[in-house]
Amino acid sequence: MKNTDFLQIKNELVKPPKTGEIVEGKVVGIERSSVFIDLGSVGTGIIFGKEFQEAKNILKDVKKGDEISAKIIGLDNERGYIELSVSEASREINWKKLKDIKEKEEAIKVKITGANKGGLLTDLYGISAFLPVSQLSFQHYPRIEGSDKSQIVRELQKFIGQEMEVKIINLDLEEGKLVLSEKAGELESIKEALKNYKKGDIIEGEITKITDFGAFIKFPAAELEEKDSSTDKPKKYLEGLIHISELDWQIVKNPSEIVKIEEKVKAKVIDITDSRIFLSLKALKKDPWQDIEKEHKKGDLIKGKVVKLNNFGAFVQLEKAKIQGLCHISEFGTKEKMDRKIETEKEYNFKILSLDPKEHRMTLSFID
């Protein structure tokens, strides 16, 4: 065989090393600030300098003969060695592990190491991770009336040192983002439990959180393997949202005016979407529009209190009913003129232009 043929075969069998490649080798030498790795036919690698300092924790227990993974960061330095990074290799390998976990939707346990106003802090394989408040399970969600941020942080700090079971919901190697969810692991059981409910069902539960857009209510879910109060394991609950528009027939500015935290209420199921259930309080209250035509008709002059102003006009509540009508912006000309003529929480005289109880609609004309 010619030498040229032998070299060609050798080159085909021995893949030349590339910068950025992850390689494996055996530790063949350890000095005060260097570690030498036998990479077989491609040569000998070295971990030294800055890379050695960054990987001290990884390398502290390494001994001759150990197999180690490293990333090539330089080829053939002045000493003839291939420069390696253990920390970068470890980081890449760990990100790959995390990617596999995310793709398989596996649940993993993490230990909470910190908290801020946005959520909880932890790490996975040495990579910092974040568990947002919105991704906490119903059981761990901080129920703070008024959403006081400092109080939320104090509630979240109680979890430091505890373990939680989570799933990875967002992973971005380039930006170094790793976002976790505790409630993601509950979704399947919640979906299964919600199959036992339908529109029109009445549930009884407790108000647990009040926000600008409505209130949350928890209610027992027997199909989620409830235990009685004598056991250490708490009962399982489902959580539903009562949107601000479903709290009462009148326009609600602040949900806390209608419900209070820990208040026991009954609510009607109005929609179920995927793993979410939507409820209504007003559906169980008498519809004030039912008898409105017995008291009022088109053309009547009425007195009403302005409860809200926006770009469409003024929302007006009738003096003796929870009925609200709209005095359109065209009655004033512009919003600026409307703002000069009327104010919220004050009463004025209006004329009924149209009345449609079925559509819950009434239009008014302002009487200056």
Residue bearing the bigger pLDDT, 89 or 251: 89
CATH fold of 195-284 reads: OB fold (Dihydrolipoamide Acetyltransferase, E2P) (2.40.50)
User: What is the C-alpha to C-alpha distance for residues 263 and 106, in angstroms, rounded to an integer?
Assistant: 37
Of all residues in the chain, what percent carry a pLDDT higher than 70? 90
Q: Give pLDDT, residue 228.
A: 44
Instruction: Examine the pLDDT at 192 and tell me if it is beyond 90.
Output: no
Question: What would the mean pLDDT of 165-187 be, rounded to a whole number?
Answer: 88
Kindly report, residue by residue over 291-323, the tens digit of the pLDDT. 888 888 999 999 999 988 999 999 999 877 678
Q: What are the distances in angstroms from CA 173 to CA 91, 180, 228?
A: 10, 14, 45
Each domain of the chain, given as residue ranges in start order, spans 3-88, 105-185, 195-284, 292-366
Give the residue-averaged pLDDT of 46-75: 88
The mean pLDDT value for 219-233 works out to 55
Question: What pLDDT is stored for residue 4 in this prediction?
Answer: 52
pLDDT tens per residue across span 5-21:
544 544 545 567 888 88
Question: 105-185 domain in CATH 2.40.50.140?
Answer: yes
Asked if the domains 3-88 and 105-185 are classified in one and the same CATH topology, the answer is yes
Backbone angles phi and psi of 170, in degrees to 5: -150, 130
Q: Which residue(s) pair with 16 in the sheet?
A: none
294 CB-near residues (< 8 Å, 6+ apart): none
Tens of pLDDT along 107-119?
Answer: 899 999 999 989 9
- Which residues fall within 8 angstroms of residue 125, CB to CB, at 6 or more apart? 94, 97, 98
What pLDDT band is residue 263 in, cutting at 50, 70 and 90?
A: very high
Per-residue confidence band for 352, with pLDDT thresholds at 50, 70 and 90: very high
255 band by pLDDT with thresholds 50, 70 and 90 = very high
Question: Of all residues in the chain, what percent are helix, strand and coil, respectively (each to 5)?
Answer: 25, 40, 35
Q: Alpha-carbon distance 107 to 111, whole Å?
A: 14
Q: What pTM value is reported for the model?
A: 0.58
| CATH class given for the domain over 3-88 | mainly beta
Fold of 292-366: OB fold (Dihydrolipoamide Acetyltransferase, E2P) (2.40.50)
